A = this chain, B = another copy of it.
Amino acid sequence: MDVRLRRKREAAAKSTRIQEVNRRVILDAALEVFSAYGFRGSTIDQIAERAGMSKPNLLYYFKRKQDIYVSVLEETLAQWLQPLADLDPAGEPEAELARYIARKLAMSAERPEASRLFANEILHGAPAIQKFLKSTLKDLVDEKAGVLRRWMAEKKIAAVDPHHLIFMIWAATQHYADFETQVRAIMGPEAETASFRMATADAVTSLFMNGLKPR
């Protein structure tokens, strides 16, 4: 076997460890910075500082600012859609929806930065993930909308346009992450407590579940 090729492979396998660590650190730092200040509002220096390395070093792992941004977006996208993907067509409709809402609320509470990152990206026209929205996301939503439509036809839940139902669940649940500042300004410091989070879950769930009771 070619010696250079072998070297290269070994090197790749070895360096992967340190590369993986640094890429991980960078992406974590980038999520925080980008979600707080947006793409244009963030600087490579900021990300580098939070990642504990110099700017040229960071650029050794990601050639361009855009690359970091796209990477962190792609990485979080999958996680973000997992709850919807997990909506079980064979499950009990009301329980499935209640679980979906609960998981979305939990994610908003636990990883608000991820929610804000998307919100910002979409707010500005989703320049980096247009294709994803029109393909993967659309397919997933259409599929699950079909499931909801079936449940409605079977009178298991009230009839509402299923796409709009999904949008409203997204809106209501992500609101608490994206508009956290506003919620906190109105509700005061209490808004950070666990009991507030429970009250939120109660209110959102009860409104949706009442609204969706078959009648």
Identify the A interface with B (CB < 8 A): 36-41, 116, 119-120, 122-126, 130, 133-134, 137-138, 141-142, 158, 160-161, 163-165, 167-168, 170-172, 174-176, 178-179, 181-183, 185-187, 199-200, 202-204, 206-208, 210-213, 215
A211 to B206, CA, bound (A): 8
This protein's copies in its complex: 2
- A-B residue pairs in contact (CB < 8 Å), sample of 19: A41-B124, A120-B123, A122-B178, A122-B181, A123-B178, A123-B179, A123-B181, A137-B182, A137-B185, A138-B186, A142-B186, A160-B203, A161-B202, A164-B200, A167-B175, A167-B183, A168-B203, A170-B175, A207-B211
Which residues of chain B are near A212, meaning CB under 8 Å?
A: 207, 210-211
Q: Are B125 and A36 in contact (CB under 8 A)?
A: yes
Q: Are B160 and A206 in contact (CB under 8 A)?
A: yes
Q: Which 5 A-B pairs have the closest CB atoms?
A: A211-B211, A164-B203, A171-B175, A133-B185, A40-B41
Q: Are A168 and B175 in contact (CB under 8 A)?
A: yes
Write the chain B residue with the least CB distance to A182: B122
Which residues of chain B are near A167, meaning CB under 8 Å?
A: 172, 175-176, 179, 183
A212 to B213, CA, bound (A): 11
